[in-house]
Chains A and B, each alone.
Chain A
Amino acid sequence: MGSITFIEHDGNRHEVDIEEGSSLMQAALDNSVPGVDADCGGECACGTCHVIVDKKWASVAGIATEVENQMLDMTPEKAATSRLSCQVKVTEAMDGMVVRLPEFQM
């Protein structure tokens, strides 16, 4: 079983085990990673589970959908590899992936 690392804005790292089929947001919540609010519970409708995927892992994580981008456009911290973690399905191919949390969730 592989793992994914969340890095908080202050540099704190949280390594979480991969549970295939679950969302990246759920992985953060299940492991109490601070900084992921998930106010809508995974509906792609609040923008509070924003993560910035490490560039090397961007193609593995996939690109944001149109609806997702519309939410992400509302945060000033949006970056080229930004995703809403509720829309990223975790797979074994993500073993070793690094994602960063923004300073603030919108």
Chain B
Amino acid sequence: MNILSSIVEKSTSLVSIPFVVEKTAKVIPMPLQIKGVHLFLKAKGKVWKGKPVPVFNESPIPDVSTLAIEDIDVSNPFLFKQNMWGSYFKRLRDECPVHYQKNSPFGPFWSITRYEDIVFVDKRHDLFSAEPIIVIGDRPEGMAIETFIAMDPPKHDVQRQAVQNVVAPKNLVEMEGLIRSRAVDVLDNLPIDEPFDWVEKVSVELTSRMLATLFDFPYEDRRKLAYWSDVIAASPETTGGECSADEMFLGAAEMATYFTKLWREKEAKKAAGEEMGYDLISLLLTNEKTKNMIDRPMEFMGNLALLIVGGNDTTRNSMTGGILALNQFPDEFVKLKKDPTLIPNMVSEIIRWQTPLAYMRRVAKEDVEVNGKTIKKGDKVVMWYVSGNRDERQIEQPDEFMIDRKRARNHLSFGFGVHRCMGNRLAEMQLRILWEELLKRFDNIEVLDEPEYVQSNFVKGYTKMMVKITAKAE
């Protein structure tokens, strides 16, 4: 009981858990530490009353026109699930583009809803901090992992530079062939002329395969990557999701076990003088600054979690969103089949139209005036990319899906400024490969029912979408 009692003792004397974990990293294996923290928090929950975790019960969301402007709460995790977000954000853009909600279950927060204002906030990291977390709610207690998406410069810049090469275009060229062959294998085995769930069979499977490729992760266990991503990003207190703290801690411990093993295997390979691959861990091991990252568990876990979540929900939901968009705008499908060179432009349009991550959150570092409203130092500020991407002031006919849209690349989904999405080229490549291979094989992909959506105010995505595909005539 030495490990646990040491953690408990130090934690109760107000030393933060991450500090303890850092200090003990060399002696105690990471998965054990995570389990220890979990047990400690559970025990603590029984003795002291911790901060209550919000409970979300679904009820129908009212028509936005029936609400007073101050009562609009776009943090409601059912707004996307019930597909009601469009009218809510349009009203905010038109009537109150910088909007304050003071009573949300996540505490008070500002919403920035117009394109131009979002670009301003995103660029000004000197005025708006990304720390300590980029979702609306607070961090679940004990999960203070360090990820550079939630760090300010200069620390952010150092951390990001250490890992960004794994998804840099040069490295992607090395991986494209393998990613394509794994995608082709999925598409060649899809059922023809019978209903199946596109989310399960294509979107989740392809993103899991891609992540397994990126990490050189045991291929047969690849679906674990998607599972960990789901549990990390879906706690009720952060995004209004459905995952419990128990699930999250067990997931994190399992993830730490897998990746510690993977790290040690690659490390042994390196020590034996074998050639290293282009996967993430090999790149980290061959970089002076990061070769000992495993001794800094919060950073190690943070970087892995960021890459797993960042590479999962986003691309997965754009893979589903593209199919849905072409079903809602069938003329565009005709246009695409006539001219497949439109694929790269369509990929940008899909990423805009879907906006798979709805926002990023900041905290004002000083009093700042944005579009006539004064945001006070310390206030939470949410940049709703999902709204800016439909801003009529910036984008013509924003609700239309147009695969040949002019300046389609000028969307907000990747964010702007120092936190701009690092995996943008990987995402674009995967979607391009998917569509190139789909057009070679299938004549039609028909969406059979309304899709089912994720419960979250952050992930704008799908849990199920039944489709039927028709093979191309020989």
Chain A residues proximal to chain B, CB less than 8 Å? 37-41, 43-48, 67, 70-71, 73-76, 103-106
Contact = CB atoms under 8 A, between A and B. Distances in A.
A47 B119 CA distance: 14
B161 A73 contact: yes
A66 B165 CA distance: 22
Nearest to A48: B409
Contact of B170 (A37, A39, A45, A76): A76
B369 to A, nearest CB: 19
B170 A70 contact: no
14 contacts: A39-B410, A40-B119, A40-B410, A45-B119, A45-B123, A45-B420, A46-B420, A71-B418, A74-B164, A76-B164, A103-B169, A104-B168, A104-B169, A106-B168
B116 to A, nearest CB: 10
A70 B122 contact: no
Nearest to B160: A74
A99 to B, nearest CB: 20
Contacts of B153: 70
Given A73-B161, A74-B164, A103-B170, 9 more contacts: A38-B409, A40-B119, A41-B407, A44-B123, A48-B409, A67-B123, A70-B153, A74-B422, A104-B169
Contacts of B263: none
Interface in B424-441: 424-425
A74 B410 contact: no
B122 to A, nearest CB: 7
A46 B416 contact: yes
B414 interface: yes
Nearest to A42: B410
B351 to A, nearest CB: 11
Contact of B157 (A45, A47, A73, A106): A73
Contact of A43 (B123, B164, B424): B123
Contacts of B50: none
A78 B419 CA distance: 18
